[in-house]
Amino acid sequence: MRDRQPNSRLLAVRCRLANNRQKLADCAIGFGKDAMGGRGGRLFVATDSSDDDPVNPKPGPLRHEVIQDEPLWITFQHDMVITLKDQLVMNSYKTIDGRGASVHVTGSGCIIIHQMSNIIIHGIHIHDCKPSGDGMVKMLPMRPSITISDNYMTHHNKVMLLGHSDTYVQDKDMQVTVAFNHFGEGLVQRMPRGRHGYFHVVNNDYTRWEMYAVGGSAAPTTYCEGNRFLAGDGSCSKEVTKREEAPESEWRNWNWKSEGDLMLNGAYFRQSGSAATSTYARASSLSAHPSHLVGSITLAAGVLNCKKGSRC
């Protein structure tokens, strides 16, 4: 287990106690730290990996539980591969907790969070999603505070889209933390792409993106801090950033800042807007560690190898 911050070892132990799964809700960081998930709700154990009827799912599979109105903490009876027939659309106040089983979600569309709040997804594999949307996880939130952390992502095109649309100005108050993730081989773009809002991209490890790493449109405030950006060998993929749907005369006023990032193999970050620290106060969610520690910080990113009855 890696030391991420002075209290990380204590925090990690507290977060993974097998005798109280719902303590996981105490362990979030960044802007999404207050997300409750299904805390205080009924514990549901998924017993069936099928997804036979996406419109009227039977009790037992994951899909039936994520659409319920009540808070639920969802675990899994055994290892399973859930092959979706359609996008898995989630309701508010849900936790998907994969600890203790090897759970793979694949198939059509993967996971959609649309106008919902208080959702925790932890310890599952999401992969080989057939096209039905823009990303492995697409978030169009009702509540504007989100944390995406400790993921291991590889081999996908449009990785992460945050925000409803360029014209949906209600997202101007959205605050997103993207922290401690490993963005690995075979990723093309959107790590993340943010619309409107405030984005703190902190202590992530980026490895050889194919188009760009951090993008945005509709004038988001983007604060990249303490990341490691390793560009690929091709001359067309050295730039970390990409502004979408706007000419340079417009986006040069967007507030995008790189501070303490490590640029390798010719990677570069095109800054714009204000350089004043005060400008990025609403886009700062936690203290960054030096970029030379990113390798150790993200060493255990992704699903942990957890077994029932033991600490993972």
Handedness of CA 216, 176, 200, 226 (dihedral sign): negative
What are the tens digits of pLDDT across the range 221-254? 999 999 999 999 988 899 999 999 999 999 999 9
The string of DSSP letters for 130-180 reads ESSSSSSEEEE-SSSEEEEES-EE-SEEE-EEESS-TT-GGGGG-EEEEES
List, by residue number, the catalytic residues: 190
Q: How many CA atoms lie within 13 A of 27 on its CB side?
A: 21
Q: What pLDDT shows up at residue 5?
A: 45
> Are the beta carbons of 55 and 77 closer than 8 angstroms?
no
> Are the beta carbons of 204 and 294 closer than 8 angstroms?
yes
Task: Supply the pTM of this predicted model.
Answer: 0.90
* Gap between the Cα atoms of 172 and 188, Å rounded: 26
* Gap between the Cα atoms of 52 and 39, Å rounded: 28
What are the tens digits of pLDDT across the range 204-217? 999 999 999 999 99
* Gap between the Cα atoms of 148 and 160, Å rounded: 10
Q: What pLDDT shows up at residue 136?
A: 58
What are the tens digits of pLDDT across the range 271-282? 999 999 899 999
What are the tens digits of pLDDT across the range 63-95? 999 999 999 999 999 999 999 999 999 999 999
> Are the beta carbons of 208 and 230 closer than 8 angstroms?
yes
Cβ neighbors of 236 (< 8 A, separation 6 or more) are none
Q: Which domains does the chain have, with CATH numbers?
A: 146-305 (2.160.20.10)
* Terminal CA-CA length for the chain: 9
Q: Looking at 27-36, 60-69, 163-172, 204-213, which range is the least confident one?
A: 163-172
Reported as type and span, the H/E element at residue 13 is helix 8-15
pLDDT exceeds 50 at position 183: yes
Question: Can you tell me which residue has the tokens 């490890």?
Answer: 205
Indicate the average pLDDT of the chain. 90
Q: What pLDDT shows up at residue 138?
A: 60
pLDDT exceeds 60 at position 142: no
Instruction: Compute φ and ψ for 152, nearest 5 degrees.
Output: -120, 110
Mean pLDDT of 92-106: 96
37 or 113, which is more confident? 37
